[in-house]
Amino acid sequence: MFRRLINRTKFTAVVVLVVSGHFNGTMLHSSNQAEDVKDIIQKTDSILVTQKKPLESCEKEKIVREIYSNVLTTVENQIQKYRAQARFNGSVAIARDGVVMFNKQYGYADMGKQIPISDTSQFQLASVSKQFTAAAILKLYQEGRINLDSSLTTYLPELPYSDVTIRHLLTHKAGFPSYMWIIARHWDKNHVPTNEDLLRIMSENPVNLRFEAGEKFNYSNTGYCLLACVIERVSGVEYDEFLRTRFFEPLEMNNTFAFSMTDNSYSPEMVKGYRYNGSSYSSVNYNLMDGTYGDKGVYSTATDMLKWIDGLKNGEILDKALVKKAFTQSTLSNGDKIDYGYGFRIKSFYGNKMVFHNGSWSGFRSTVRTYPQSGLTVVILTNNSFNKTGEMARSLTRTILNDYQSEEVYQIVKALVFDNDANLDEQHQELVDSWKLHGLNQVRQTINNLNKEWLAHRIEAFTDDRTGGEKEFYALNEE
């Protein structure tokens, strides 16, 4: 009976439930958003019947933000506390399965000129940039142009490190000392060195590895600078051009680019970095190390980073099998696992697998975290030496994942509306049977707990084998 009923009504009430919840006891047409929401409802009804066109992203955003309206109010309050207590200045964006549910900016991109941060303000990602370098290597591997287990000297023959492989570099197991130490010892400080300059220095002044490649994990910026050199040698194009043409343009990451002081790639939207001395801020000038990239150097926005993570997960720029590998712990030569994949750290947080990376450079602090099991992605970018990006990200994540009431509604809408499969074929049948046995009472209670009493009547209409149309919808909203 339950399946027959859903097939007949196409679960319209769930959509009505979600997009209309904030009207709470008032006539729909009394709201200044009435026509906007009504259009979504009508279009969704049509979609579920005809299966011809998916919801637009802006419509999905309205639905998701309505589901999590109470949660997002708490998120905003938490951010304001970090602003008041810890000087948070930056951009925050949160998405669920690629749908943006929160996107706000706080404070100044240029404190001296009092220029506020906007959605197009570009932040130095620092070490978060490493995931682009890793993805570029995997792209070349996917095309058959690189072997991950080949020696580094296969692609950079001037270097004397035949035992170091590309995979060792990707997973920080090569044992190189810091390139900043190498440059400090062998470079004319009146000029800014490039990646090729670093490569030449290392070929002319070989350094000893700290351990045999593969034996230990030792986080290495040097390895990722060398990977950028490999990308340029193998592809025949500059690192920044490779990222732009292969990743940023296809994903419409219009405010993302790789920066080096040596190529004058400045943008008017670049945010300034600041250090805090205990009572005031001072801007951070560029230095000798701002000529190299691969380990850092990518500037982006919070919303562009949401596009990036979504593009990876959907297989838009790399095979999903490769992305899964990048999101998986790697191993040492003795078989021990390490909490790093290809350009990503991997840990568990609140019972969820967390794939992430943090960054810190010249006053910029950043974190990009995604949770493959829940589809949640959190991005925080700052430019004022804010030192609690990790703590803040954990706090916001807990707030969202702990809201079981909204989660229940979201999962129903995701399965039966966002996935655009209203025919309820076999892949959904197990889910439907679960709701039939014990889930509907949970959903009913969820709606009551969200103080949307009339919505509970919509659930009752389903269980009582009664259909509802537009007249009933308006009647349920009458005072």
Q: What pLDDT score was predicted for residue 433?
A: 52
As a whole-number percent, the residues of the chain with pLDDT over 90 amount to 64
Tokens of 420: 């655009």
Q: At residue 58, does pLDDT exceed 70?
A: yes
Q: At residue 23, does pLDDT exceed 80?
A: no
Q: What pLDDT score was predicted for residue 419?
A: 65
Q: Are residues 442 and 466 in the same domain?
A: yes
Q: What pLDDT score was predicted for residue 36?
A: 53
Q: What pLDDT score was predicted for residue 62?
A: 81
Q: Are residues 395 and 448 in the same domain?
A: no
Q: Are residues 315 and 225 in the same domain?
A: yes
Q: Are residues 389 and 423 in the same domain?
A: no
Q: What pLDDT score was predicted for residue 63?
A: 76
How many angstroms separate the CA atoms of 107 and 385, rounded?
13
Comparing CA positions, the residue from 447, 66, 416, 132 lying closest to residue 295 is 132
Q: Are residues 127 and 10 in the same domain?
A: no
Q: What pLDDT score was predicted for residue 217?
A: 97
How many angstroms separate the CA atoms of 92 and 112, rounded?
22
Whether residue 78 is contained in a domain is answered as no
Cβ–Cβ < 8 Å for 106, 83: yes
CA-CA-CA-CA torsion sign (58, 11, 427, 378):
positive
How many angstroms separate the CA atoms of 267 and 258, rounded?
11
Q: Are residues 227 and 346 in the same domain?
A: yes
| Average pLDDT value for the chain | 82
Bridge-based pairing of strands 364-371 and 352-361 is: antiparallel
DSSP string, 38-80: HHHHHHHHHHHHH---PPPHHHHHHHHHHHTHHHHHHHHHHHH
Whether residue 354 is contained in a domain is answered as yes
What is the CATH number for 245? 3.40.710.10
Q: What pLDDT score was predicted for residue 64?
A: 85
List pLDDT tens digits, range 435-444. Answer: 443 445 555 5
Among 340, 375, 401, residue at a domain's last position: 401
DSSP state of 209: -
Tokens of 38: 């009504």
Q: At residue 326, does pLDDT exceed 70?
A: yes
Q: What pLDDT score was predicted for residue 347?
A: 96
Mean pLDDT in residue range 361-384: 97
Whether residue 118 is contained in a domain is answered as no
Whether residue 299 is contained in a domain is answered as yes
Q: At residue 301, does pLDDT exceed 80?
A: yes
Q: At residue 3, does pLDDT exceed 80?
A: no
Task: Provide the pLDDT confidence category of residue 34 given band limits of 50, 70 and 90.
Answer: very low
Q: Are residues 355 and 470 in the same domain?
A: no
Q: How far, CA to CA in Å, does 428 sit from each of 233, 270, 364?
A: 48, 46, 45
Cβ–Cβ < 8 Å for 258, 304: no
- Map residue 314 onto helix, strand or coil: coil
Task: Provide the pLDDT confidence category of residue 339 given band limits of 50, 70 and 90.
Answer: very high
Task: Provide the pLDDT confidence category of residue 238 given band limits of 50, 70 and 90.
Answer: very high
Q: Are residues 135 and 261 in the same domain?
A: yes
DSSP state of 255: T
How many angstroms separate the CA atoms of 401 and 370, rounded?
12
Among 353, 368, 401, residue at a domain's last position: 401
Q: Are residues 237 and 276 in the same domain?
A: yes
pTM, 2 dp: 0.82
Whether residue 92 is contained in a domain is answered as no
Q: Are residues 129 and 248 in the same domain?
A: yes
Q: Give the structural domain span for 360.
A: 123-401
Q: Which of 326-335, 364-373, 445-454, 457-466 has the lowest mean pLDDT?
A: 457-466
Q: Which of 59-63, 192-196, 211-215 has the lowest mean pLDDT?
A: 59-63
Whether residue 79 is contained in a domain is answered as no
102-135 burial, b if ≥16 CB within 10 A, otherwise e?
bbbbbbbbbbeeeeebeeebbbbbbbbbbbbbbb
Q: What pLDDT score was predicted for residue 188?
A: 80
Task: Provide the pLDDT confidence category of residue 78 given band limits of 50, 70 and 90.
Answer: very high
Task: Provide the pLDDT confidence category of residue 52 given band limits of 50, 70 and 90.
Answer: very low
The gap between the terminal CA atoms of the chain, to the nearest Å, is 32
Q: Are residues 397 and 433 in the same domain?
A: no
Whether residue 239 is contained in a domain is answered as yes
Q: Are residues 442 and 297 in the same domain?
A: no
List pLDDT tens digits, range 134-182. Answer: 999 999 999 999 999 999 999 999 999 999 999 999 999 999 999 999 9
Whether residue 87 is contained in a domain is answered as no
Tokens of 433: 């049977």
DSSP state of 90: E
Indicate the number of domains in the chain: 2
How many angstroms separate the CA atoms of 383 and 410, rounded?
34
Among 342, 368, 401, residue at a domain's last position: 401
